[in-house]
Structure 1
Amino acid sequence: MKLNKIAIAIASLVVSSAAWSHGFVMDPPSRALLCDKITMHNPGYAGEKNKNCGNIQYEPQSLEAPKGYPASGPKDGQIGSANNTRGPELDAAGKDRWVKTEISAGKNQFHWYFTAPHPTTKYEYFITKNNWNPEQPLTRASFENKPFCTIQADGSRPGAGASVTHICDVPEREGYQEILAVWTVDDTSNAFYNVIDVEFAGHNTPDESTPDVPTPDETLPAPPPVEPPLNDDEEVVNAAPAIHIVQDHLAVNKSSINAGYEMDASGTQGATLYKWERVEGTAEFQLQSKQGSPTHTSPQIGKELKTMRAWVKAGATGKAKYRLTASNAHGSTTKYITIEVKDNDVAQDSSVPAFAANTAYSIGDKVSYKGHIYICLNVHTGANHWSPDVAVSLWKMVK
């Protein structure tokens, strides 16, 4: 039976579009990326690669399943493969099955790479419980039920390529652990799920009796989240909100362009109203709800303002202090965030360091490359294929 040539052409276009409209965590590398494409995106990588990954090794950007984890999302036992997107291979269990990336608790960067980005609702990072069992398939019971890091995007669209970096406070753990990075798309019913195999110092002791938790029926509406039961020594929650700030002191270099730095309080619990205000600093430091939105010197108040950007005018230096007040019917709580912008101007071109791969760069850092001076636009780790003359989302030539 011969197929219509037009139908074949249309089908090819559809497949091509689907394959490219995705993304993955590049650093630390996701399980799928370590199968084959790691050296394409990090030419300096000389470590081991994952083996016997199946077809997903050719499309690490395609791990897509229904959004709404943990209430919905991929089925238990199929979290690694995102519901067998390209086969079940990524769901294989075993403490020695997958290549691991060394990591430590505290501030860590997570770099995303997008082949063709979608408008985004949020990014979330979940981590396994310290006593999870690596010899069993990944289930919801393997992970903590709340993310250790949430980055709200409010429908913004990331740039293509290596355009997004998050700084998250990774909890204390021991030995082999899993991080589940979830990119929730704003304009579809799906999200992208990346499992990252990491190794902390020490050794975890698996709980071999950990029960499986069945995945909710995907044909039913997602149930409301269930709060964990109170411990015997806890009282009924009937108090002011508990504010959780990802980073309370931001130190950055002066930027030649207007820049915004996220103040993330998405882990705050019990708040019904948020108030953000600048309490110290000049008018060069302002408030901005999200990238591209208007800036303000007056307080910003809202029910959903769990994150706010500290907007800094181009060329500004100095310090500013911001105050977050979270309140509910039982009272209010206040915390402060300080941003410090350092003057990193160079007197001579010879004093500007040369661009180097495997070097961490912050917004405002300057490097020399092929006779020009470039300024860093996004936090990232340098790589040869992200040289300043080609990575326009990461660098801007200033001289």
Structure 2
Amino acid sequence: MHKRRKLAALLGAGLAPVLVLGLNVTPANAHGWVTNPSSRQDQCARGVVECGQIKWEPQSVEGPKGRKDCAGGNGRFSELNDDSKGWQVSDVSRTTTFQWRLTARHRTTTWQYFVDGDKVAEFDDRGAQPPQYVSHNVDFGNYTGKHKVLAVWNIADTANAFYACVDVNIR
């Protein structure tokens, strides 16, 4: 009887950390990407450009807020930073609507748009939960020609953001 109690105590002590760690793991519930004009990860998902893992999870380009690269600092999706990959360039007007598809909606602080590293637009959601599809009309000002647009979705209650790059030709 004593051996059984000792074994039960040892098993309990061994499983306790696993259970505690398992309870503290929170699944990511915020995912999304720009579908129109077609972002780099959207092109990967549709098979327009040959890519790695991003093909199966275009919504997962997540990284710390403040990044300025297409992969958001996420090494698994580093091919999104490769400007020589043959990304399809979308012809757009000086004012263009960007549409995000959110597979899991998360409270949002801001949506930001950068052209070649310069912020051209910001939309403040003040912590609201967005709908499944979100659109923003972005004014490119004096920019014309071929550029890379970095679109950023800043999450309200985490230190992370979601990133999408879109190659455009502004007319």
The alignment's TM-score, normalised by the length of structure 1, stands at 0.35
Aligned residue type for 1:194: A
The answer to whether 1:196 aligns with 2:166 is: yes
Which residue does 1:57 correspond to in 2?
A: 55
Q: Which has the higher strand share?
A: 2
Matched, 1:169 2:139: yes
Partners of 1:64 and 1:82 within 8 A in 2: yes
Gaps of 5+ in 1: 39-48, 129-142, 202-399
Q: Which residue identity is paired with 1:24? A: W
Q: Distance in 2 between matches of 1:29 and 1:85?
A: 22
Any residues of structure 2 matched to 1:332-343 within 5 Å, and which? none
Runs of 4+ in structure 1 displaced over 6 angstroms? none
Structure 1: how far apart are the matches of 2:135 and 2:70? 22
SS in structure 1 at match of 2:76: coil
2:39 is aligned, of 30, 34, 48, to: 30
How many residue pairs get aligned? The number is: 151
CA distance in 2, matches of 1:87, 1:111: 21
CA distances 1:231-272 after superposition (whole Å, capped 9, x unpaired): xxxxxxxxxxxxxxxxxxxxxxxxxxxxxxxxxxxxxxxxxx
1:85, distance to aligned residue in structure 2 (A):
4.3
More RCO (CA 8 Å, sep 6+): 2
1:175-222 alpha-carbon deviations (Å, 9 max, x no partner): 321011111100001111111111235xxxxxxxxxxxxxxxxxxxxx
Q: 1:54 is matched by which residue type in structure 2?
A: G
The letter of the residue matching 2:41 is A
- 1:110 Cα deviation from its structure 2 partner: 1.2
Query: What's the CA shift for 1:171?
Result: 2.5
Identity %: 34
Structure 2: 5+ residue stretches without partners: 1-14
Alignment of 1:186-225 (within 5 A): 186-201=156-171
> Secondary structure of 1:86's partner?
helix
Distance 1:167 1:173 in 2: 15
Write the distance in 2 (CA, Å) between the matches of 1:185 and 1:35: 24
- Work out which of the residue numbers 76, 79, 93 in structure 2 matches 1:104: 93
Of residues 133, 146, 151 in structure 1, which corresponds to 2:123?
Answer: 151
Q: What's the TM-score once normalised by structure 2's chain length? A: 0.78
Q: Distance in 2 between matches of 1:155 and 1:103?
A: 30
State the shift of 1:87 in Å. Answer: 3.5
1:27 and 1:188 map into 2 onto residues whose CA distance is 26
Greater fraction of residues in helix: 2
Give the distance between the partners of 2:86 and 2:168, measured in 1 at CA.
12
Aligned AA (1:190): N
- Mapping of residues 69-108 of structure 1, within 5 Å: 69=66, 73=67, 79-94=69-84, 97-105=86-94, 107-108=95-96
